[in-house]
Structure 1
Amino acid sequence: MTSPEDQSPAPQPPVPESKDRIYRSPAGIAGGVLLLGLVGWIGIDAIVAGDGRTPWLALATLILLVPLIVAFTLRPAVFASEDRLRVRNPLRVIVLPWGQVASLRAGYSNEVVATSGTKYQLWSIPVSLRARNKAARRESRIAAERAGERQGRSGRGAGGLGGFGGFGGGASPRAGAGAGVPDGPVRAESDKIMHELRELWETRQKEESAQGEVTVRWAWEIMGPALAGAVVLGILLAVG
């Protein structure tokens, strides 16, 4: 028989790590795939069917353009976890612990501002003024509908039994107009994402695990091939 002192507590299950929320631009990805297909088709055709220096010029151009297309269309993404914001822009990767974030701004472009005052643009969350104006028009329309409903209820209440809403409980022609109307403000998709990021930042910025230093890393895996392609293309054009 074992004594209570010999009994060790049961091991606790490991706490699962929270998954990052990933934000990317569907339009950017679609455009990147189309551009890669077009450039690849033209370049490979020139390499296979071209003569003289054409295949070499086409190859150097592909080495230059493909990394840049990937960098500015497929690569950008924002990863938000409970402890940090990781921004993968075309040529840099910026990691900001929530404690180092001063604000998240949504204007003509979406950006994060560090406590040092440095601004970093969020390439994967582009601003669409058209979508923003559309959301504003819908918000105005919903506000007008709600005002009409309040006015209708006020009129029925004042009319009592002698009004149109008397015997038979006739329903207002606007009854149910608010069905399916969102409770909160109507926002464009990019503004919704920025609102989610602000909520996460406000919740986590004081946590001990969300402290640290801002780190910035250059994307040499993109810049290296692009520079090599530019150098080779320049040499070929200079030699003539």
Structure 2
Amino acid sequence: MTSPETQPPAPEPASRPDRVHRSSAGIAGGVLLLALVAWLGIDALVVGKGRTPWLALAAMIVIVPLVSAFTLRPAVFVNDDRLRVRNPFRVIVLPWGSVASLRSGYSNEVVAASGTKYQLWAVPVSLRGRKRAARQEARQTAEGVGGGPARRGGMLGGLGGGFGGQGGAAVTGTEGPVRAQTDQIMDDLKELAERRGGAEAAQGEPSVRWAYEVLGPVAAGLIVFAVLLATG
């Protein structure tokens, strides 16, 4: 019989996967813009004369990373220990213990304990969504409906798993007013920050990393473009 001293340690529980928020409207717009750039760029490469193909190539090297950075790249990754914000040119990791507040104004922001503010590009403020939620709440009030159906995308249902659907849909809860989807996401993030802010695993200092995978190609394209213009 195995003694307690020789028993193998119990396996650590598997960490839950990140919940991801992304802007479906931004992704759709980015795909359309990239398709337009590819169409125009390839046309210039194929039928262009003289330096036109080279200028088109340099322009594509600059434009494609920039379009991707502002439309396809932004995302917010959430788990019980930290918030990871992937913005166009930076990646910010904030353990919940280092988060002072999350607030909404003209944009949604997370404020670190040091006072530094970081914008959540993947969770844009939707005025249209707020108006739609206000109309839906007024309609429910007029009809005498209480809280409406169970809300989507709450804490236990996964915080916006997959694409966050930031198109401005209204979200209803079992209690309380109707909320725009991006406002509901911010409410869930605030709740998680308050609940996990004191946890031992959620302590640490924020870290910021520049997105050299975006800045590098853009800088290279600008250099090629400048050389072509200077030698013209």
- Given the two structures, how large is their TM-score scaled by the length of structure 1? 0.81
Equivalent pairs counted in the alignment come to 208
Q: Is 1:188 the equivalent of 2:180?
A: yes
Moved over 6 A (4+): none
Comparing both structures, which one devotes a greater share of its residues to helix?
1
Task: Write the distance in 2 (CA, Å) between the matches of 1:6 and 1:195.
Answer: 46
Cα distance, 1:16 vs structure 2: 0.7
Change (3 A) 1:7 1:211: closer
CA contact (8 A) 1:145 1:178 kept: no
Q: Is 1:96 the equivalent of 2:94?
A: yes
Q: Is 1:216 the equivalent of 2:216?
A: no
Cα distance, 1:42 vs structure 2: 0.7
Structure 2 counterpart of 1:57:
55
- Please give the root-mean-square deviation of Cα atoms over the aligned residues, in Å: 1.9
Residue 103 of structure 1 aligns to a residue whose secondary structure is strand
- Given the two structures, how large is their TM-score scaled by the length of structure 2? 0.84
CA contact (8 A) 1:25 1:125 kept: yes
- Stretches of structure 1 lacking an aligned partner (at least 5 in a row): 147-176
Matches within 5 A, 1:17-32: 17-32=15-30
Change (3 A) 1:218 1:63: same
Quote the sequence identity (%): 62
Q: Deviations over 1:9-37 (max 9, x none)?
A: 46524311111110000011111111111
CA contact (8 A) 1:126 1:190 kept: yes
Q: In structure 1, give the amino acid aligned to 2:219.
A: L
Structure 2 counterpart of 1:173:
none
Cα distance, 1:238 vs structure 2: 2.5
1:236 corresponds, among 217, 223, 228, to 228
Determine which structure has more spread, i.e. the larger CA radius of gyration: 1
Q: In structure 1, give the amino acid aligned to 2:116.
A: T
Q: Deviations over 1:126-177 (max 9, x none)?
A: 111011111112222323333xxxxxxxxxxxxxxxxxxxxxxxxxxxxxx6
- Stretches of structure 2 lacking an aligned partner (at least 5 in a row): 150-171
Structure 2 counterpart of 1:198:
190
Q: In structure 2, give the amino acid aligned to 1:55.
A: P
Task: Write the distance in 1 (CA, Å) between the matches of 2:41 and 2:4.
Answer: 74
CA contact (8 A) 1:24 1:78 kept: yes
Q: Deviations over 1:39-93 (max 9, x none)?
A: 0111011111111000000000000001001100000000011100000000000
Mean Cα deviation higher: 11-20 or 76-85? 11-20
Change (3 A) 1:49 1:140: same
